[in-house]
Amino acid sequence: MCGILAVFGCLDTSQAKRSRIIELSRRLRHRGPDWSGLHCFEDCYLAHQRLAIVDPTSGDQPLYNQDKTIVVTVNGEIYNHKQLREKLKSHQFRTGSDCEVIAHLYEEYGEEFVDMLDGMFSFVLLDTRDKSFIAARDAIGITPLYMGWGLDGSVWFASELKALSDDCERFISFPPGHIYSSKQGALRRWYNPPWFSEQIPSIPYDPMVLREAFERSVVKRLMTDVPFGVLLSGGLDSSLVAAVASRHLAEIEGAHQWGSQLHSFCIGLRGSPDLRAAREVADYLGTRHQELYFTVQEGLDALEEVIYHIETYDVTTIRASTPMFLMSRKIKALGVKMVLSGEGSDEIFGGYLYFHKAPNKEEFHEETCRKIKALHLYDCLRANKATSAWGVEARVPFLDKDFINVAMSIDPEWKMIKRDQGRIEKWVLRNAFDDDKKPYLPKHILYRQKEQFSDGVGYSWIDGLKDHASKHVSDSMLANASFVYPENTPTTKEAYYYRTIFEKFFPKNAARQTVPGGPSVACSTAKAVEWDASWSKNLDPSGRAALGVHEAAYEEADTAKNVNSVGDSYQSLGGQDGVTTKIATAV
């Protein structure tokens, strides 16, 4: 990941203003510690902090077209840049950077080129010929981008709040799949896939089509000139990413400067479920595995720094971001600059356990659409900012634009959870990689039930957070929370505690409005309760809220009909009595 900052229409064009832009850009240096760049044109500034992943020697930014009339600063990766260069043979490129194609595509096609990009990106482009500019964000919002307005009429864009919040009167989270054009003075959507309108798709499920689409997604994300690895929790999603990547690297010669053996990383409290499962997967795949540990106290000590970097007060996000933040620091210390991660699968396939209660395929599909559209406020934000805090880039194969279109075109009847037919959550994905001849994963891993990341790193982690918050937030403070925080009022001591830290770093009203409405929104408790009122008894945004579903899955193991496939996996899951006991005890 990189850090971008762009300002247009400044009244002050003095050296002092230039120095201020440089100072604000430095606040993003954690995102791009490898080099800095700044382009000034009259009252316009484009700054960049670079994390060099592709073409480390010549790809410094801002980037330009041939005659330097078009300037662009980019955060992200364009995976199809080589194919796009073929369309631009008449253009002269200055670097080997994947992002340089953006300047040339604009020169060739104008503002309507964004849908041609296959990747994760946020960029700002200045056309000095008429002093117009555009800004755009990728389809799902994998990379962060904020837009702000100064009192002097200036327009700002930045990768993180901290680079513009002090100098802008108002700012917003730039919506995913949108482009802003100064010529039109407005945002417009460029990403409009058929499923986006929430029309119920009807294409029959084809496991091979889904498998091949995911394999292509993983392989294209191995585009790198630096050491890389995979985040491996031992759950279905990260294990599939690791399995596909490992298989691909083993099939090609000279795959990488680290060799053809994939490096994998997992973090947790000692004895946590994720560490055990990840080790088993790593041994099965033959990855070079690193087990990273943290203590509850180390996590608590990092909370303020975590909230400063991830820029949210959402409970679920902070719980999961802290171990990921600590893991990223250790990964960077090992010399790794890029990792593959498994975010997005639960949203696409209805993997959260409350989807067991979905009453019909229409509501199931509508809820997956809603979850995908909110990813940029939760899991994408966490994965990007927690890793970027230490100059590590996270790539997410499940959120590949082509793969999403394939997965979201499947008739949602196939995604419905039907335990009487042996279908647990994400069955269509599990089944697609259930290959007896050349297994990707052991059966019990392939059919391992959902474990929320903040739970999987160790159940005492959440308990420690709650206890810590209780020591800092009194009963009277929580009772008067609506007067102190009338907007998105915290309803628990833990939420109140995170809010106080957030407000210390980002005190403006515009900042708190960039965060959605609290933990119940993040975990879709409202939808879970709508589908089954019994869920109202446990509103904790942790995966523990789904305890009843977990227990039901274990109880029904012995009666599962599909013994040859899913039945075996249920039996294996049922053997993890320690996991079930720990969840029940913690609650």
What residues are labeled active site? 2
Helix boundaries (H) for 27-100 = 81-87
Q: Write b or e for each residue in 357-396: b if 16 or more Cβ atoms lie within 10 A of its Cβ, otherwise e.
A: bbeebebbbbbbbebbbbbbbbbbbbbbbbbbbbbbbbbb
Distance CA 479, CA 470 (A): 13
Q: How many CA atoms lie within 13 A of 377 on its CB side?
A: 22
Burial 254-272 (b: 16+ CB within 10 A, else e): ebbebeeebbbbbbbbeeb
Q: Give the Cα separation of 24 and 165 in Å (integer).
A: 10
Query: Which residues have CB under 8 Å from 82's CB, separation 6+?
Result: none
Based on C-alpha coordinates, what's the Rg of the chain? 23
Which amino acid, one-letter code, is at 108?
Answer: E
Q: Strand 338-340 relative to strand 228-231: parallel, antiparallel, unpaired?
A: parallel
Q: Quick one: three-class SS letters along 503-549?
A: HHHCCCHHHHCCCCCCHHHHCCHHHHHHHCHHHHHCCCCCHHHHHHH
For the beta sheet containing 288-293, the strands, ordered from the edge strand earlier in sequence to the opposite edge, are 288-293, 263-268, 228-231, 338-340, 393-395
- Quick count: other Cβ atoms within 10 Å of Cβ 286? 11
Which residue's entry shows tokens 């833990």? 494
Q: Name the residue among 460, 483, 484, 182 with its Cα closest to residue 296.
A: 460
H or E stretch at 171: strand 170-173
Q: Which two tokens stand for residue 83?
A: 């194919």
Q: CB under 8 Å to 563, separation ≥6 — which residues?
A: none
Separation CA 401–CA 385 (nearest Å): 21
Burial (CB count <10 Å: 0-12, 13-18, 19+), residue 503: middle
Q: Rounded distance, CA 234 to CA 266, Å?
A: 8
- The Cα–Cα gap between 384 and 376 comes to 10
Side by side, the strands of the sheet bearing 63-64 are 63-64, 70-78, 119-127, 132-137, 178-181, 186-189
Identify the sign of the CA torsion 196, 199, 205, 206: negative
